[in-house]
Chain A
Amino acid sequence: MSYDEEVLEVLKAAGLDILSCMHCGTCTGSCPSGRHAGLNTRRILRDARKNRPVLEDKDLWLCTTCYTCQERCPRGIKITDALLEIRRLAVRKGFMLPEHRRVSEMVLEYGHAVPLDEETRKKREELGLDPLPNTAQHSPEALEQVRALLRTCRFDELTAEK
């Protein structure tokens, strides 16, 4: 089975039926990214349905996951959920934007996608707050727990440069 044939299989396994799409275009017409950044949601769903290549498609990562298409779909198709499912298959096949690998590295290293920086540490002090927030960043044990959990999930392997 080719990568692209797997897409429909994965959607089916997740209980997401995109075959009932009647191509009305409500998804694309409702999409903020469609209007301002050229994302064509309907086209991606059609390509997925026809086993055309979608996993390498950079447009897959233009969806802001605002869920407007999913809310408005007259067929009740869980479009955003389907898109997320396709993205996860893309990542498993190694298709990931370099910027997203970096976000993953942040969590692996600091337990936070947006870790504390020197500038904010100063801002915290100005406000009379503890310079280190009471989160995983405050506790080496908690941070090690987060890292161990991510290793168990093999998130480090999944997101490593291939």
Chain B
Amino acid sequence: MTKLSLFLGCIVPNRYPGIENVTKLCLEKLDLDAVDLPGASCCPAPGVFKSFDKGTWLSLAARNVVISEKMERDVLTICNGCYASLADANIELKSDPEMKAQTNMCLKGIGMEYQGTVEVRHIIELLYEEIGPEKLKSYVTTPLDLKVALHYGCHLIKPTKERKLGNSENPTFFDELVEATGAESVDYTDKMMCCGAGGGVRSGHIEESLEMLEHKLACIQRAGVDCIVNACPFCHLQFDKGQLAVNEKFGTDYSIPVLHYSQLLALALGISPDKLGIEQNAVQNLEFLAKVYEINAGIR
């Protein structure tokens, strides 16, 4: 099995530490060899930094990859944005010698050199490719009686030429991983639409960003689900914190719980709900919390 270094990024450790906590617990339960990636910085976020300066984006991403190269481990990301930056930069540096030379000129000043010896993985792609939904089911001790609105997030699958995870219009691999937990992945209108946060839109044009989010939330609400599941902390933040902002802006009363896939999987692996950090979310849905504790206690 691949040796991995866990790249935390910014939003997980600095806003949603519950995701960090249970990701580590899940990796342990699944016997995946993953250790911390000490000294890692921002990936840097593709929507903003790749929009500002290519050289900076490549250099900072390369530095994070180099730390993992020294450890002789592939980088494991738990965020679509981190995946987009680190995987795309890695592909670009491996395939473009000129870019690699330029980036190494910058890295030289801090005594580093990019070699191109490791891969960058995303936890969803890794679980699907290396364990698979069928085998994942054998680890499930607590099948989840939950209806889920799954949000893939754009950068997990697009651009498809780089991702190689198949069609981006109607993918199923992530749904299969959700259903391996016993949960039902419910179809809903505009399921593949963006959450509205990326590309610097959430930071630069918040009103427009919330317009897009409100549409997604309306579609999800109509589908009648217990929670939203994602694999990207930035989408997670948009759905969770953004939900309160949408309620304020549009006078709505959405209260849809938001979980990262690691948190859903943790529940299915029998990890206690108090390790998840969902009680620290902006959206507080007591009915859902009660349900989750009942499932964990085996009384549902």
Name the A residues within 8 Å of B15 (CB-CB). 114, 120
Q: With contacts A37-B205, A107-B44 known, is A67 near B17, CB below 8 A? A: no
Query: Which residues from 234 to 255 on chain B have a C-beta closer than 8 Å to any C-beta of chain A?
Result: none
* Stretch of A1-9, A20-28, A49-57, A58-66 contacting B (4+ beta carbons < 8 Å): A58-66
Q: With contacts A67-B154, A135-B41 known, is A99 near B204, CB below 8 A? A: yes
- Are the C-beta atoms of B193 and A32 separated by less than 8 Å? yes
Main SS class of interface, A: helix
Q: Taking the complex as formed, is B270 at the interface, i.e. its CB lies under 8 A from any CB of chain A?
A: no
Complex interface bits, A133-161 against B, C-beta within 8 A gives 1, otherwise 0:
11111110111011011101101001100
Could you say which of B11, B110, B200 has the most chain A C-beta atoms within 10 Å of its C-beta? B200
- Are the C-beta atoms of A149 and B106 separated by less than 8 Å? yes
- Are the C-beta atoms of B203 and A127 separated by less than 8 Å? no
Could you say which of A103, A126, A129, A142 has the most chain B C-beta atoms within 10 Å of its C-beta? A103
Name the B residues within 8 Å of A80 (CB-CB). 159
Q: Taking the complex as formed, is A36 at the interface, i.e. its CB lies under 8 A from any CB of chain B?
A: yes
- Are the C-beta atoms of B14 and A115 separated by less than 8 Å? yes
- Are the C-beta atoms of A139 and B39 separated by less than 8 Å? yes
B26 to chain A, nearest CB (A): 15
- The residue in chain B whose Cβ has the minimal distance to the Cβ of A67 is B158
- Are the C-beta atoms of B201 and A62 separated by less than 8 Å? yes
Q: Taking the complex as formed, is A87 at the interface, i.e. its CB lies under 8 A from any CB of chain B?
A: yes
Query: Which residues from 1 to 52 on chain B have a C-beta closer than 8 Å to any C-beta of chain A?
Result: 8, 10-11, 13-15, 17-18, 20-21, 36-42, 44-52
- The residue in chain B whose Cβ has the minimal distance to the Cβ of A87 is B51
A124 to chain B, nearest CB (A): 4
Name the A residues within 8 Å of B54 (CB-CB). 88
Q: Taking the complex as formed, is A46 at the interface, i.e. its CB lies under 8 A from any CB of chain B?
A: no
Q: Taking the complex as formed, is B137 at the interface, i.e. its CB lies under 8 A from any CB of chain A?
A: no
Q: Taking the complex as formed, is B160 at the interface, i.e. its CB lies under 8 A from any CB of chain A?
A: yes
- Are the C-beta atoms of B13 and A153 separated by less than 8 Å? no
Q: Taking the complex as formed, is A123 at the interface, i.e. its CB lies under 8 A from any CB of chain B?
A: yes
A32 to B169 alpha-carbon distance, docked (Å) = 14
Name the B residues within 8 Å of A65 (CB-CB). 46-47, 51, 154-155, 198-199
- Lowest 8 CB-CB distances: which A-B pairs, in order? A142-B39, A133-B13, A37-B208, A67-B158, A65-B199, A66-B194, A114-B10, A66-B154
Pairs across A and B, CB under 8 Å, 9 listed: A64-B199, A66-B154, A71-B158, A104-B52, A127-B18, A134-B36, A141-B39, A142-B38, A158-B52
Interfacial residues, chain B to chain A (CB-CB below 8 A): 8, 10-11, 13-15, 17-18, 20-21, 36-42, 44-56, 59-60, 63, 106-107, 109-110, 154-155, 158-160, 168-169, 193-194, 196-201, 203-205, 208-209, 211-212, 215, 275, 277, 280
